[in-house]
Amino acid sequence: MANIEPEKQTLLNQHREKHFTAGEIVRDVIIGVSDGLTVPFALAAGLSGANATSSIVLTAGIAEVAAGAISMGLGGYLAAKSEADHYARELKREQEEIITVPDTEAAEVAGILADYGIEPHEYGPVVNALRKKPQAWLEFMMKFELGLEKPDPRRALHSALTIAIAYVLGGMVPLIPYMFIPRATDAVLASVAVTLVALLIFGYAKGYFTGNKPVKSALQTAFIGAIASAAAFGMAKAVA
């Protein structure tokens, strides 16, 4: 930044871009809350359709939320861990290739730069500079050849905790009415109302943060949740 011309620096100071940078956290929250709202919701509706009492629905629902949070959190941990392991394997392979076949790797750098429309007389100095700096060369190949960014070493644990907590928070919403209404047939109506409102709010927030149309996202999310609960309720009623 220190070498930028004063006029350009002024323009940069006047134009501060606001980019959303918490994409991984939002993704984990969406995964946890969406499943947390719909799965216990469908379970509670199904048990209500089978004429279970509110206490049974609540017990089964809490057990499902606990098991679901553990399962979803573990899935998030393994997914993030696999991503980190994949990066480590590719990093080791690139390190070996830079040492054993440097000319081939340099040609690949030239090809990448050429794909961006850079002329040979322009990318030649870049290739030579990278050959003198193995670490920069390695980072360049990981990012531009393989499209891989170095993962946060704490990502796996953070992902697991975020998904699990989000699942619990979402999963308790449809169960709240059963804590206060003894008859499950009455509680299920309140559960439907509460959960649909929560799905609408969650869907709107999801659309807002992911860049989609918030209203459309809210309606789609609520519709999917309603279909899941209706199917579970209908099947339980049919076999009860």
Per residue in 20-79, pLDDT tens? 445 678 888 888 888 888 888 888 877 877 778 888 989 999 999 999 999 999 988 998
Residue whose structure tokens are 């959960």:
195
| pLDDT digits 0-9 by tens, 121-148 | 666 676 677 777 778 777 877 777 777 7
CB 151 within 8 A of CB 81: no
pLDDT score of 21? 45
Q: How far is CA 32 from CA 68, 79, 160, 171, in A?
A: 9, 14, 10, 9
Token pair 């309606």 is found at 219
- What share of the chain has pLDDT > 90, as a percent? 12
Nearest to 24 by CA among 141, 184, 159, 225: 159
Domain extents in the chain: 23-239
Query: Mean of the pLDDT values across residues 202-209?
Result: 81
Tokens of 240: 């009860």
pTM assigned to the model: 0.73
Mean local confidence (pLDDT), 7-12: 51
